[in-house]
Structure 1
Amino acid sequence: MRGLGTILWLGLKELRVLRADPVLLLLLLYTFTVAVYTVATGMKTEVRNAAVAVVDEDRSDLSRAIAAALLPPQFRPAVAMTPAEVARALDAGRITFALQIPPRLEADLLARRPVNLAIDVDATAISQAGNGSGFIQQIVQQEVAARLGGTASPIDLVLRTRFNPNSTPEWFSAVMQVVNSTLILSIILPGAALLREREHGTLEHLLAMPVTPLQILLAKIGANALVIVGAAVLSLLLVVHGLLGVPLAGSLALFVLGTVLFQLSVAALGVLLATVTSSTGQFGLLALPSIILMMLLSGSMTPLESMPPWLQWAVQLLPTTQFVALSQAVLYRGAGLEVVAPRLAVLAMLGAAFLGVTFLRLRRSLAG
């Protein structure tokens, strides 16, 4: 009980220090509010409001129907251009797609003669270019079938989209940004707290008191975890669910449990990086690539299925990969404890391993 009281006292000290630091408080507020909202609403890879031009050399009812079918939200209203204007507009970046309709399109289709339509694409935005050209091809085929009487297919394919029926990108990016913000702050805050103690000379004062390195480690991780988990929950409720309207399908308590276990490992990593550096600048140089690597390989920004098989297996040892999978299962699909229990167990083991290594390194660093 005396040891727990010491950890509680040290944790309260960390909270008072954090409260007195306006820069860290502003970073915490920005990361879980403005950053979540702007990333969810601003970073889009799907086709939205793409500029498209139509070179209509047929001037038939079918060609006008095709041009009129290029509608928001995927496309802006189509702009009529000549071939020379299209080339200049593509070079200047004013349009992304240019549909060229040849002469006698409708007459050739009615006569069952082959017809070629051309789509010029600005592929500097590769994801938008690929998806947008697919949409245009689908629109052309639908209009041709509607105007000229396409043959019915013997197969009626019905598509059912689960967990995100309207394929709204904010539903995915908002929650993943909360996960990424939790990762960033969980590494930065505990590591910065230890470095601040060393740079201000207060670490020696702590060592002169009846406290152990383990108590110092648990206090720094626990105090910052309390703040970060609380901020993440408020961000989910107020920004993600309240402001952006993203439904939270599963148990919030189960998500909090996973977040706490995730905190143990990544916060310990932040302290570990702080023990091998002598200044805040060096800590930032080590923390930045670590954060970027874990974010890119976690499945929150790129799908794990697109990675090589050996890398898919290797990234399972990263706490971020486990936490992203747990968050998606709980918050998107409403998974219960029986589904995510293996993820929780792996997070607990990774947290214990990181804590053990960090404790040994911290004790050696303080002894030196």
Structure 2
Amino acid sequence: MWNRIKALVWKEFLQLRRDRLTIGFVLVMPLAQILIFGFAVNTDVKHLPCVVYDESRSQESRDFVDGLAATQYFDLKSRVDSEAAFTREIDMGRAQVGVWFPPDYARKLRSGGTAEAMVVVDASNPTTASNAIATAVGVSQMRGTTLLFQRMGYGQATQPIPPIDLRVRPWYNPNLRSPNFIVPGLVGVILAMTCVIYASGSIVKEKERGTLDQVMVTPVRPFELFLGKIIPVIGVAYLQLTVLFGAARLLFAVPIAGSVPLLYATALFFIVPMLGVGILLSTAADTQAQSTQMAILTFLPMVFLSGYIFPIEGMPLFFQGLAQIIPLTHFLIIVRAIVLRGAGMEAFWPQLIKLTVFGMVVWSMALRVMKRASA
């Protein structure tokens, strides 16, 4: 009996050794998860892009900005000269934090009064916003304490009047509600999963049933075959998009601040590349089990590295670069810009270009693999 069991066990190991995809699924996926969670996952985000509107133009305001930069949580990206430019930098997503000093900021500090300053934070991501707010308030308190001790030393502070009154304004998600950030991103994740998994089984089913060869000997071209496979999925994806945003609005009170037609139009720039990924996997796989494994291997890194849960700004540079070739990364920027900030196409046209380029590349690869397989 034991000899028969040993022979069966040895046979299974031999089959496993020949199945490289299963070995990759068993070994590579856990290793990738360890690397991602160990290196890329970081909720303590630093180097947030910051814009400064300094009407005071004084040494006191520059000292405050230097204090913010010294924490490494803020990177000064630009200085603007008008309220409109200040608002535009944050609306366009070029800055996540804005600091505004009124003209009398330095005069009030020098006269022993309380000077006001304002910090605006893009609260689309509550985790990032909370860290930014806490850091800015901490810098303000430290700077205020230093000024208060100086006043006491000069005999100017007979009463402990706070030197700095920092006004914090979280924009786009003023209550820092997590559903406002999570739910729109979840829509993108579900769309990606639907497109990749559904499309990854479309061609390989024909292979397993033996009908693919019959189709290929007809006048149908590979591109026409692909169109016939993906057009129904596009309809399903748009139906899914409608149901998900309807549920988000009714169940979680997630507002859609921007244009709904624009949201639907830009979704196509994401759906088509993701279907291309699924079709590419389907043409490369020989069985449905292989296509499912390849889809999971492809999909899980997308979720973790796209900024859906963990901010990309907190990842090492290597993973930040890797995130730029993931379509979900760019669609999340688009959907959150429209839903939360009410932004127009001028705020995310670079993401649309990247999605278009990615779609052209992945569909070209799928067509090349399909032609090679049918030759």
- What TM-score bracket applies, with the shorter chain setting the length? 0.5 to 0.7
Query: Which residue among 280, 284, 308 is the counterpart of 2:288?
Result: 280
Distance, in Å, in 2 between the alignment partners of 1:257 and 1:306 is: 31
Displacement of 1:352 in angstroms is: 0.8
1:249 aligns with 2:257: yes
Query: Which residue among 171, 183, 189 is the counterpart of 2:192?
Result: 183
Distance, in Å, in 2 between the alignment partners of 1:151 and 1:365 is: 80
Displacement of 1:151 in angstroms is: 5.1
Matched with 2:316 is: 308
Paired positions, count: 223
Residue identity matched to 1:293: P
Give yes or no for contact 1:264–1:352 (8 Å, CA) kept in 2: no
Matched with 1:259 is: 267
Alignment RMSD (CA, Å): 2.4
Distance, in Å, in 1 between the alignment partners of 2:261 and 2:228 is: 23
1:75-106 deviation digits (Å, cap 9, x = unpaired): xxxxxxxxxxxxxxxxxxxxxxxxxxxxxxxx
Residue identity matched to 1:235: L
Residue identity matched to 1:170: P
Displacement of 1:153 in angstroms is: 2.4
1:221-250 deviation digits (Å, cap 9, x = unpaired): 2221221122112311x2011221100111
**Any stretches of 5+ residues in structure 2 without a counterpart?**
1-42, 44-126, 139-158
Matched with 2:230 is: 221
Distance, in Å, in 1 between the alignment partners of 2:322 and 2:249 is: 33
Matched with 1:364 is: 372
Matched with 1:174 is: 183
Matched with 2:11 is: none
1:11-55 deviation digits (Å, cap 9, x = unpaired): xxxxxxxxxxxxxxxxxxxxxxxxxxxxxxxxxx9xxxxxxxxxx
With structure 1 as the length reference, what TM-score do the two structures score? 0.57
Distance, in Å, in 2 between the alignment partners of 1:229 and 1:355 is: 20
Residue identity matched to 1:288: I
Q: Which protein is richer in strand relative to its size?
A: 2
Q: Which secondary structure does the structure 2 equivalent of 1:157 belong to?
A: strand
Query: Which residue among 336, 345, 349 is the counterpart of 1:341?
Result: 349
Residue identity matched to 2:328: T
1:351 aligns with 2:363: no
Query: Which residue among 236, 244, 251 is the counterpart of 1:235?
Result: 244
Distance, in Å, in 1 between the alignment partners of 2:203 and 2:224 is: 13
Give yes or no for contact 1:264–1:355 (8 Å, CA) kept in 2: no
Query: Which residue among 277, 281, 298 is the counterpart of 1:290?
Result: 298
Matched with 2:31 is: none
Q: Which secondary structure does the structure 2 equivalent of 1:317 belong to?
A: coil
Q: Single out whichever of 195-204 and 357-366 deviates more from structure 2.
A: 195-204
With structure 2 as the length reference, what TM-score do the two structures score? 0.56
Matched with 1:161 is: 170
Give yes or no for contact 1:250–1:330 (8 Å, CA) kept in 2: yes
Query: Which residue among 176, 189, 202 is the counterpart of 1:193?
Result: 202
Give yes or no for contact 1:250–1:334 (8 Å, CA) kept in 2: yes
Give yes or no for contact 2:200–2:278 (8 Å, CA) kept in 1: yes
Q: Single out whichever of 221-230 and 198-207 deviates more from structure 2.
A: 198-207
1:1-368 counterparts in 2 under 5 A?
A: 152-236=161-245, 238-367=246-375
